[in-house]
A and B are shown apart, each in its own frame.
Chain A
Amino acid sequence: MYVLSPVTDRVAAIREKYRTAKPSICTARYRIVTDYYRENPQLQGILKRAKNFLNICERLPVLVNPNEVIVGWQATRYRACALYPEISFGWFLDELAAGTIPKRDTDPYDISDEDTRYLLETGDYWRKESLSAKVDEYIPLGYFGAAGSGVTYFGTTGTCTSPTGHFVANFETALHRGFGAIRAEAEEKMSELEGRMYGNGAERYNFYRAVTIVSEGMIILSRRYAEECARQAALETDPARKAELLEMADSLGWIMANPCRSFHDAIQCMFLYQIGLCLDAQQHGISFGRVDQYLAPFYEADLAAGRITPERAQELLDLFYLKVAEMNKIWPYFATLSGPGYTSGQLMTLGGVTRDGRDATNPVTFMMLQSSGRLLLHDPPQSLRIHKGTPPELWDAAIETTRIAGGVPTFQNDDVIIPALMARGLPLESARNYCLIGCVEPQGCGDEWACPGGNGTESFFNLLNAFLLAINDGHNPMPAPDGSRGGRVGLPTGYLYEMETFDEVLDAVRQQIEYFVGWHISLVNTWEMVASEHMQLPLLSATVDGCMESGRDVMKGGARYNSTGNAAIAIGNIADSLAVVKHLVYEERSVSARELYDAIMADWEGHEELRQRILNEAPHYGNDNPDVDCFARWATDVYGDAVNAATGPRGRWAAGLFPVTAHVLFGMSTAASPDGRKAGTPLSDGISPVQQMDRSGPTATLRSVSVIDQKKFSNGTLLNMRFHPTALASESGKEKLIALIRTYFDLGGMEMQFNIVSADTLRRAQEVPEDYRDLVVRIAGFSAYFVELYRASQEDIIRRTELNL
C-alpha cells in the first residue's frame, strides 16, 4: 500500500511559515514598471514589453532566504504578491482607496501605509495606460445595447482584467537548450534579415530582437541569484549550508545560459523560468505542464550516477512545491468570489501516455503525489492523466492522495481528451502530449496557444440566463442592484405565456444562446486584437513551438497550434428548467405557462407549493432519467456547436463546461428559475446536477452527466463529487472508487475530482476554524484551505451532495 514518508525539518519549518504568513502586497515590481513606462513613452508593442522585462530582471531585488535551495521571487517579502499595473489597475486603486483590501472577507492582503500612499499618488497614471483602459476604447458600438444580459458578463468599463495568462511554456526547450542557445538562434535569424526586411520582415526582425532581449533578461536574473548565493556563502559559518549555497550558486550561474545538467538544475530552471513568465505577463493560470515528464530523465541520470539520493530529490521537490505555494496574485474582490482561496492556478500535469502512446508513469510521478500528500498545500494543483494502461500502484497512490490532500490530484481521461484535441487540430503525437492549464483545460504541452481563459477575462457563459431571457422577451429579469430594470438586452423572443408549443420555447432558447455566443466571441476577439498590440509575450514565445520558425509572438498566432477557449455554466439549472417547462406546462398541462412565469418573476413568493412540487416531483438531471438528461445534452450541444464553429484572429474557438466558482458569483445576479431555484442563490456547479437534486446515487449521476457529448468540449469539463470519509477507509472502498472513475471514463467522461470530507467536519471547521487550519478542500480546478473561503463558497461545498461508498 502507498504510504507517506515524513518531511525533513527544513521543509516542515518552511511549511509552517507559509501557513502562518499573511499574504501582503509588494510594490517592488510596480515601482520598476511605473518608472520604466513613464520614462519610455517612445517604445510600443513587443519591444516595450521585452525591454520592460529586461529592466525588471536587472532591478528587482533578489532574495535568498535561510533554508531555501530553490530560489526565485516576484516580490520582496514572503507570501507577498507583485502588482501588474500595465494589465488593469483601476479596480485596485478603488479598493485601495476604500481601505477594503486588508479587510475583505476573502483573500485579504496586508499593505503598509507608506505603500498605500505611494500607490494612490502614482496610480492614476495607469488608469489610462493600462491595457484594460485601452480595451474599453474598442468596445463595439452595438454591444452597449446587449450589456447587462447576465449571459455574457462583460460590462462596458473595466472589461479586461486579464488579457494574458492561462498558458504553458515549452519547459523542455528551456531545460534542454537554455536561453543562451535561444538567444543565439534569434541573433542568427536577425542577421539573416539585416538589410533584407521585405514583406513582414521588419515585424519578424523585431520579434527576434525581443527574444534576444528577454533571453538576456532570464540569464541576468539567474546570474544575480547566483551572485547572491555566492555572497551569502562567503559569509556563512555553517559548512553544510556554505556548501549548499555554493552548489546553488553553481547551478544558478549555469542554467538559463546553458542546458541543465542535473535534477537540481532542472527544478531551479523550471521554477525561475516560471517566475520570469509571471513577472512578465502577470501570474494567472500560468501552468507547469507535464512536470514528471520533464524531470524524470534528470532524476534517473543523477540516481544512476550516484549524484543524488531519493530522499534529497524528494526534499528538492517539496521545496519547489513550497515556492509555488507562496506565490500570490491579488484579484478584484468580485473576481475573487469566483476563485477564492489565494489560488494562482499553477497547474501541474502527471501521468498519461507518452508521445508514442506508451504509459508515461515514472518515479517522479509518484514523488509529485508524495509532495502533495505530505505538504497539504492549497497550490500547486495537480491533474493526473488516466488511460487504459495506468498502473495499479499509481491508481492507489492517487486515490490515497486525493483523500488526504483535498482533491489533489484531479483525474483526466486520455481516451476522451486526446481525440477531442485532435478534433480541434492537434496531430496525434501532440495531442498525446497534452497537459492541463489553469483548472481543467487541455492543451498541447509547449506547442499550442489555446488561450483557454479567453483573452480579456475569465470567459464564462451563463446558460441559465440565456433561458431566462428567452422566456422574458430578451429582458434580464434580475433587477440591477439599485432595483431598476433595464431595457431589452437580448433578442425579442416573446414571453413564455405567449409560446404555444414547447418547440417554440426551445427555439427561443437556442436563439438567445447563439446570439450571446456571438457577442461573447466578438468581444473576446476584440480584446485579443488590442492585447496583441500591447501585451505580446516574447519570453513565452521564445520557447513555444512555432514562434521561432514563424518569427511571430504567440499573441500574433506564432504558435504551431492555436485556439481560444470559453466555458459555460449552469448546465444542471437549464436542463431542469427545460424539463419542468416541458413536462408541467406543455405535457401534463398541470401548470399554466402564465402561472409558472409569474412564480419565477415573483421569486416564488406566494408560490411555495408549486416550488415544492417542482423540487420534489419534477424530473431532475443527475438521476439517470433520459427525459431530463436529454436537455443537458441539448443545451450543451447548442452552446458547444456555436462556440466550436466560431473563429478568432488565430484560429478556431473551443467550448468547455466548467465554472471555477463562477456559479456562486453569477448565481448572485441570476433571477429565480423554473427548476425551483430562488434568485441570487448559486447555480449548479460544473456539469454536476443541481445541488441536492441528485438523489439516486453516484452511478446514476455519472450516467446522466455522460449524456453530454464531452469530447465536444476540448476546453475541459469539470465534475465534482463529495464522498463521506468512511467511503475510503477500506481497501475495497478505494477499489470501488477506482471502478467508479473508470466506468465514468468508459462512458465518455472527461474529468472527475473529489472531496472526501463529511458535512459534519465542514460545519465544525466553520465553528472552530483554528482547529481546521490545514483542511484543504477541492473548489474547482484548484483547492483551498476551507477556513480561508468566504461563507457562500463554504456553504456551496457543504451543499454538494454527500455520497457514501
Chain B
Amino acid sequence: MAKELTGKVYDIQGFSIQDGPGIRTTVFFKGCPLTCPWCHSPESQSFAPQLSWLAARCIGIDTCGRCLPLCPRGALSPGERVQRPGTGEEIRLVRIDRSSCDVCGACARGCYPKALEICGTDYTLDDLLARVLRDRPFYENSGGGVTVSGGEPLCQPKFVLPFLEKLKEAGIHTALDTTGHVPADVVQGALAHTDLFLYDIKQMDGALHRAATGVSNERILDNARLIAAGGGKIQIRVPVIPEFNDSDAAIREIGVFCLSLGAAVEMVQLLPYHNLGVVKYQRIENRGKVLEAVPPSEARMHELVALLKSLGLDATLH
C-alpha cells in the first residue's frame, strides 16, 4: 500500500487574528526557498524536522536527566550550570552535539518538560482538516477562516492544494500566506481555492532581493501579476527592514508595483522589522545569517504608510 500523503507542519495556531479577516486558524508549513536574515520563524526554513531546545523549560539533569541515555548516538551530555528562571534553583542543563544528532526524536519523546522538542509534524489531509474544522463556529461568527502559511506552503503543493480545495468544499474562507517564489502552475492551482492571498513584496530591485533573500524577485512579481490577472484578491505585505527597503524610494517602488496590479490589491500592510526572532535561532542553533538591527521607529513607519496612501493605496501598519 502506498504511503498516505502527508504535509509537514511546524505549528498550528488557533485564534489567529493577524493573518486575514476574522478569527482564524493558521497552519504553518515547514520549509522555505528563501533565507531572509530577518525571518522571525527560523524553524520554518528547513524542510527537514529539527531538534528544538528551550533551556528555560529544562528542570535539570540531576532531577530528571532522562534524555541523556535515550540518545542512540551519544549526542547529549551534561552541560553548564545555570539558575532556573522563576525558582532561582541551580540546575545543570544538557548539552547537544548537533554534529552527532540525526534528529531521531528519541530524546524529545522522553523529555517531559518539553525542553527538547522535534519541530515538524506530518499530518494527513483528513487529520489536518478535522483539526482546523473544530473551530468552525468561531470562523462563522467572525467572518474568519483558515490561513495556510509557512515557511512556504506552496513548496508542498501535492498536499497544500488539495487541502485548500477541501477547505473550500467545506465552505471555509481560505487565506494563503505565500512568498510567491514557486512555479506559476502551482500558483495557478491555488488561485481557484484561495479567497485571499497574503503576498510578500520585499524589494523591487532584483539584485538587492537576491542578495538578501537568496533568490531573485522575478518569479515573485510575475506570480503576483498572474494572481491579479486571474481574479485573485491580494493583501500585499512588506516587511520594512533597516537599510534594505526602508527608504522612501524603495517603498514607493513597491507601491507603484502594487498600483500596477489594479483592483486585485485590497490593502498594503507594512510590517516593521523586529528582533524578537533572534532567540528562536538559538533554539535550533540555526547557523544561517541573522540580522540584528535597530527596528524602525513608529514615526518612520507612519511616514511610510502615509507615503503609500499618497499614491492612492489603502495602506496600514500590521
Contact = CB atoms under 8 A, between A and B. Distances in A.
A700 B14 contact: yes
A45 B66 CA distance: 70
Nearest to B109: A617
Contact of B142 (A612, A697, A735): A735
A609 B14 contact: no
A739 B59 contact: no
Given A703-B134, A735-B142, A698 B15 contact: yes
Nearest to A739: B142
A736 B137 contact: no
Interface string A710-734: 0000000000000000000000110
Interface in A379-429: none
B65 to A, nearest CB: 9
Contacts of B141: 739, 742-743, 746
B64 A609 contact: yes
Contacts of A740: 15, 23, 138, 142
Contacts of B138: 699, 739-740, 743
A746 B66 CA distance: 45
A721 to B, nearest CB: 11
B69 to A, nearest CB: 13
A739 B112 contact: no
B63 A699 contact: no
Contacts of B266: none
A122 interface: no
B13 interface: yes
Interface string A772-805: 0000000000000000000000000000000101
A747 interface: yes
Contact of B22 (A624, A698, A736): A736
A497 to B, nearest CB: 23
Interface in A603-627: 608-609, 612-613, 615-617, 624
B230 to A, nearest CB: 28
Contacts of A5: none
Nearest to B16: A697
A608 B135 contact: no
A612 B137 contact: no
Interface in B3-18: 13-15, 17
A696 interface: yes
Q: Which of A609, A615, A696 has the most CB of B within 10 A?
A: A609
B72 interface: no
B114 interface: yes
B137 A743 contact: yes
Interface in A180-201: none
Contacts of A617: 112
Nearest to B57: A616
A733 B318 CA distance: 12
B312 interface: no
A743 B137 CA distance: 6
A608 B59 contact: yes
Interface string A476-520: 000000000000000000000000000000000000000000000
Given A609-B112, A743-B137, A805 B17 contact: yes
Given A616-B112, A624-B134, A699 B14 contact: yes
B79 interface: no
A740 B140 CA distance: 11
A507 B245 CA distance: 67
A615 B59 CA distance: 13
Interface in A566-622: 608-609, 612-613, 615-617
A805 B114 CA distance: 25
A276 B173 CA distance: 58
Size range of the interface on A? Answer: 20 to 34
B64 A608 contact: yes
Contact of A736 (B23, B25, B112): B23
A627 to B, nearest CB: 14
Contacts of B25: 699
Contacts of A735: 142
Nearest to A623: B14
Contacts of A743: 23, 137-138, 140-142
Nearest to A803: B15
B231 interface: no
Nearest to B60: A608
A612 B64 contact: yes
Contact of B59 (A612, A624, A700, A732): A612
B112 A746 contact: no
Given A613-B112, A699-B14, A747 B64 contact: no
Contacts of A624: 134
B113 interface: yes
A613 B64 CA distance: 11
Q: Which of A612, A616, A703, A742 has the most CB of B within 10 A?
A: A612
Nearest to B66: A609
Contacts of B66: 609
A746 B137 contact: yes
Contact of A616 (B113, B135, B140, B144): B113
A612 B22 contact: no
Interface in B119-164: 134-135, 137-138, 140-144
Nearest to A742: B141
Given A612-B64, A736-B23, A699 B15 contact: yes
B17 A696 contact: no
A612 B15 contact: no
A616 B272 CA distance: 35
A482 to B, nearest CB: 29
B135 A736 contact: no
A616 B114 contact: yes
A653 B113 CA distance: 44
A739 B64 contact: no
Nearest to B15: A697
Given A616-B113, A743-B142, A608 B14 contact: no
Interface in B50-64: 59, 63-64
A747 B137 contact: yes
Interface string B236-272: 0000000000000000000000000000000000000
B81 to A, nearest CB: 18
A697 B13 contact: yes
A699 B64 contact: no
B283 to A, nearest CB: 17
Contacts of B17: 732-733, 736, 805
Given A699-B14, A739-B138, A609 B63 contact: yes
B60 to A, nearest CB: 10
B63 A608 contact: yes
Contacts of B143: 739
B239 to A, nearest CB: 19
Given A739-B22, A739-B141, A742-B141, 5 more contacts: A612-B113, A613-B112, A624-B134, A736-B17, A803-B15
Interface of A: 608-609, 612-613, 615-617, 624, 696-700, 703, 732-733, 735-736, 739-740, 742-743, 746-747, 803, 805
Interface of B: 13-15, 17, 22-23, 25, 59, 63-64, 66, 112-114, 134-135, 137-138, 140-144
Chain A to chain B: the 4 pairs with minimum beta-carbon distance, closest first: A739-B142, A697-B14, A613-B112, A612-B112
26 contacts: A608-B63, A608-B64, A609-B63, A609-B66, A612-B112, A617-B112, A696-B14, A698-B15, A699-B15, A699-B23, A700-B135, A703-B134, A736-B22, A736-B142, A739-B22, A739-B23, A739-B142, A739-B144, A740-B23, A740-B138, A742-B141, A743-B141, A743-B142, A746-B141, A747-B137, A805-B17
